[in-house]
Amino acid sequence: MLSAPTSSVRLLGSNWITMAMLGLDLATERTSGGLMLQNYRSGNPMLQLLRTVLRVSTIGALMLLALPASGETLLRVGHFPNITHIQGLVAHALSRQGKGFLEPRLGLDVKIEWFVYNAGPSAMEAIFAKSIDFTYVGPNPAINAYAKARGEGVRIIAGAAEGGSALVIHSDSSLKTAADFRGKIVATPQLGNTQDVVARAWLKGGGLKITQTGGDATVLPTANPDQLLLFKQRQVDAVWTVEPWISRLELEAGGKVLVDDRSAITTVLVASAALVKAQPELARKFAAAHRELTEWIIRNPAEAQKLAREELFAETRTEFPDALLKKCWDRLTLTPEIAFDVLKQSVSDAQAAGFLRDAPDMTGLIAKP
């Protein structure tokens, strides 16, 4: 076997065979090629010609491999590790397996790079930073981003999920109404995310004064995995969150649902406003592919749950049993449609929670490409 010097391996990785092609003097005296090596060193013209041809051919091949694919379009798409983002979970899982659902519907030259976020405000920051092009997100972060950008920045191009959001309390809790939460602590996924906004609006509706740092009750923005731990330790009195965390709080921490928010819009599909304007046909294809994916998930719940479970494990390194996913499924309604009246309620909640002063003109937020 031919052996290559370490310097050659560093130059072209482990492909020392390529180096052997570039310089026949890599052969050692231990090989049966000793005669060829001797002939080469003595200036055999045929071997010198062979060496030149192989060198030019190999360098040319390496240069071609280094070139980027011609005309390739890379789309960057975000979602959360939540069942309420089931379209993102399923599509991400299929992309990971090399069986992309969205990609072939967008064009042969389109590739998708996936990004995972804990909650909506982080995803909206990524849109503004031009780090992603599309994302699954709750309606309130999209509304807040749209208002702050004065009608620019983001566009909702489709609905995704309704329901799957709830307020969970301890099984032995006597809390029944918003007014009962005086002096209590309620955890939410992130400041300004949809559940955070809804929780604050609900508590204010019960006559409590709620601020971003305290008030009559404390709303504590906390990542979903940490909510579960704090709830188990009884360091929080309630959690307003989404699936699969609602069911995990019930099954693993003895929680019970006080408010089951099944009519709420939980997830929408958002695109960068700049992309919608510059590439309307691509945005249209993405929305259409998302619609097809939603319909496929509705028709194939068992397979969709299997893919979601695999993807959740890949993203969180946590096992999600079949029974847990089936329990989550019952609280969800998947739809690519956008309920405008329900969306306006999200605006009212954001105003009540203090995230919006004035109601923005919503006509520009929804774009059906």
pLDDT digits (tens, 9 = 90+) for 320-347: 988 899 899 999 999 999 888 888 888 8
Task: Indicate whether 160 and 268 sit together in one domain.
Answer: yes
Q: How many CB atoms lie within 10 A of CB 211?
A: 11
Return the percentage of the chain with pLDDT > 90, whole number. Answer: 61
Indicate if 269 and 160 belong to the same structural domain. yes
Last residue of a domain, one of 245, 260, 275: 260
How many angstroms separate the most distant Cα atoms in the chain? 97
pLDDT confidence band for 53 (50 / 70 / 90): very low
The number of beta carbons lying within 10 Å of the beta carbon of residue 101 is 21
- Within this chain, do residues 253 and 190 fall inside the same structural domain, yes or no? yes
What band does 42 get if pLDDT is binned at 50, 70 and 90? very low
Instruction: Specify if 1 maps to a domain.
Output: no
Q: Are residues 269 and 355 in the same domain?
A: yes
Q: Is 114 in a helix, a strand, or coil?
A: strand
Let me know if residue 151 belongs to a domain: yes
Which strands make up the sheet holding 238-242, listed edge to edge? 218-221, 185-188, 238-242, 165-170, 255-260
**Reported confidence tier of residue 170, pLDDT bands at 50, 70, 90:** very high
> Does 62 fall in a domain?
yes
- Tokens representing 118 are 């804990």
Q: Which amino acid belongs to residue 31?
A: T
Q: How many CB atoms lie within 10 A of CB 237?
A: 20
- Whether residue 369 lies inside any domain: the answer is no
Residue where a domain terminates, one of 211, 235, 260: 260
Mean pLDDT in residue range 31-43: 39
Where a domain ends, among 207, 235, 260? Answer: 260
- Three-class SS state of 200: helix
> What pLDDT is recorded for position 300?
97
Question: pTM score, two decimals?
Answer: 0.76
Pairwise CA distance, residues 130 & 125, whole Å: 9
Distance in angstroms (rounded) separating the CA atoms of residues 219 and 214: 7
More confidently predicted of 80 and 1: 80
Place of tokens 């983001």: 154
Number of domains within the chain: 3
- Do 302 and 224 reside in the same domain of the chain? no
Flag the least confident range among 45-49, 188-192, 254-258, 292-296. 45-49
pLDDT of residue 263: 84
Phi–psi pair at 78, nearest 5 degrees: -110, 155
Report which residue type is found at 299.
R
Domain of 325? 73-164+264-364
Q: Are residues 184 and 117 in the same domain?
A: no
Identity (one letter) of the amino acid at 42? S
Rounded to 5°, the CA angle 113-117-118 comes to 160
Q: Among positive and negative, which fits the CA dihedral 205, 211, 214, 216?
A: negative
**Nearest of 187, 180, 184, 265 to residue 224 by alpha carbon:** 187
Q: Are 249 and 309 within one domain?
A: no
- Tens of pLDDT along 288-317? 999 999 999 999 999 999 999 999 999 999
Note whether 56 and 199 are same-domain residues: no
**CATH number of the domain encompassing residue 195:** 3.40.190.10
